[in-house]
Structure 1
Amino acid sequence: MKLERKHALVLLGIAVWNVVTYVTFIKNLAATEGRPTGYYVAHTILIVVNLLIAALLGTWGVRAYKASRAEQKVNA
């Protein structure tokens, strides 16, 4: 599958959005008190998984962006 620059930017945008929203979620989670341990465990797992997804999408986005730039140089 060939990804274009617009696809790379979408992947990077989603990755950044995930990081921003989950950093906010981490701050809000740290501010809560009196919840059962399971609440913190479940939400911590959600945070870790979503940050890993953001890292994967960001990696794909960077690779796609670099590939689109390299192809653009070849075609120029």
Structure 2
Amino acid sequence: MKLERKHALVLLAIAAWNVVTYARFIKALADTEGRPTGYYVAHTILIIVNFLIAALLGTWGVRAYKAAKASQAGAPQNSSV
């Protein structure tokens, strides 16, 4: 499957969204008090998993973007005059 530049940008946008939303979630989790330990453990695991997903999607997005850029540079230019 060949990923185009638009696919790479979507992957990068989703990765960035995960990082931004879960960074905010960390602050909200730190501000809570009086919850059972299991609450903090479960939410910490969710945060870690989502950061790993963001890293994976970001890596795929960067690779797809570079590959699309390389294939665009190697393709003949359409010059219709």
TM-score normalised to the size of structure 1? 0.99
**Hey, which of these two has a bigger chunk of helix by percent?**
1
* Runs of 4 or more consecutive aligned structure 1 residues displaced over 3 Å after TM superposition: none
| Percent identity for Structure 1 against Structure 2 | 80
Structure 1 SS opposite 2:65: helix
Name 1:19's counterpart in structure 2. 19
The C-alpha deviation readout for 1:25-46, integer Å capped at 9, x for no partner, is 0000000000000000000000
- Counting matched residue pairs gives 76
The 1-side partners of 2:18 and 2:28 are apart by 15
Q: Which has the larger radius of gyration?
A: 2
The C-alpha deviation readout for 1:15-70, integer Å capped at 9, x for no partner, is 00000000000000000000000000000000000000000000000000000000
* Runs of 5+ consecutive residues of structure 2 not aligned to the other structure: none
* Runs of 5+ consecutive residues of structure 1 not aligned to the other structure: none
Name 1:4's counterpart in structure 2. 4
Check if 1:36 corresponds to 2:31: no
The 1-side partners of 2:42 and 2:26 are apart by 12
TM-score normalised to the size of structure 2? 0.93
